[in-house]
Amino acid sequence: MTGRAPRATPAPLAPLLLALLAACATPFRPAARNSSATDRPTHRATPLLALLLALLAACATLLGPAAGASSAADYRYWSFWKGGADGWAYQQVGPAGNVPADGAVDGWRFVLSPDGGQDTPRPGPAPDFAAVCADTAPSGGHKRVAVVLDFGTAQDAPGGEQPPAARSLCASVPTAANSAEVLAAVAAPLRYDSGAMLCAISGYPHAGCGEQVAAGANSASTEGSSGDGGPSLGLYAGVGAVVLLAAGAVWQARRRRTR
């Protein structure tokens, strides 16, 4: 999987917060008077300015995580793994570029996850070459490669599909075969897209290929979040109330300065 999750975009209220900050920071200059003795000192507005800055900082703190959550995304795809004595390690190359040795273990896991590798769920079955290929005899000019297929969970599955049970198979293939050819020998039919991205193994899933899914779309909604993984209406209402209070404070400060 080479796609990247989209970057978080600023929340819609951010420009308004910046405008309020600029309004607070801009000194008010009333019309010149003949005498300055009766002018009220401007340093009295300092506590009010500090309060406004604190309110704006609180808004920015609330909106920061919300903006990131609203634009985060997961992807459905087949992740590729290499088995070893220490378990599973994420493959850094695609199956066509990897030539496994005799006795190697290739692992595949269908996931709903951000593109990232190490944080992606690993195949469930252990990478045990001896157990998987115990009944497959060595053959001249061929190598044996164990292949572990984990079709993921029902939560990972596209709508209307049920993932098959995980299984482990032993491929006997020519010595020069790459991992794509190893997979084709034991898990047909395979489906690829026009960019040579692996979309389906053993016909699963029936449709789709690395599609983007809104983060949390397949999960139960959590407190403080909307159904699409974005910030809740309550959060925006709270931020809006703070903005209105800040705007009112700015208006009051300017009104006092003109007296």
pLDDT tens-digit series, residues 155-191: 999 999 999 999 999 999 999 999 999 999 999 999 9
Q: What's the whole-number mean pLDDT along residues 203-213?
A: 94
* Confidence check: pLDDT of 247 > 70: no
Residue 84 lies in a domain: yes
SS3 of 15-27: the string is HHHHHHHHHHHCC
pLDDT of 126 over the 90 cut:
yes
The per-residue pLDDT for 61 is 60
Rounded CA gap, 199 and 214, in Å? 19
* Same domain membership, residue 185 and residue 233: no
| Token pair for 234 | 């309550």
Counted domains in the chain: 2
> Model's pTM, two decimal places?
0.60
251 and 127 fall within a common domain: no
Tell me the mean pLDDT in the region 49-72.
57
The string of DSSP codes covering 171-233 is EEEETT--HHHHHHHHSPPPEE-TT--EEEBTTBSSS-SS-EEETTTTS---TTB-TTSSB-H
Instruction: Report the pLDDT averaged over residues 102-122.
Output: 87
Residue span of the structural domain in which 179 resides? 74-214
129 with 202, same domain?
yes
Same domain (yes/no): 231, 254 = yes
Q: Specify the pLDDT at position 113.
A: 86
Mean pLDDT, residues 187-212: 96
Is 99 in the same domain as 195? Answer: yes
- pLDDT exceeds cutoff 50 at 230: no
Residue 29 lies in a domain: no
Whether 60 and 132 share a structural domain = no
Same domain, 179 and 145: yes
User: Is residue 80 scored above 50 in pLDDT?
Assistant: yes
Residue 73 confidence (pLDDT)? 75
pLDDT at site 4: 34
Calpha distance 22→53 (Å, rounded): 10
Residues 48 and 108 reside in one and the same domain: no
**When comparing pLDDT for 59 and 226, which is higher?**
59
Q: Is pLDDT of 83 > 70?
A: yes
Alpha-carbon dihedral angle through residues 229, 232, 235, 238, given to the nearest 10 degrees: 170
Q: Mean pLDDT, the chain, as a whole number?
A: 76
Residues 80 and 201 occupy one common structural domain: yes
- pLDDT tens-place string over residues 5-58: 333 334 444 555 555 555 555 554 555 555 444 455 444 555 656 666 666 666
- pLDDT value for 28: 47
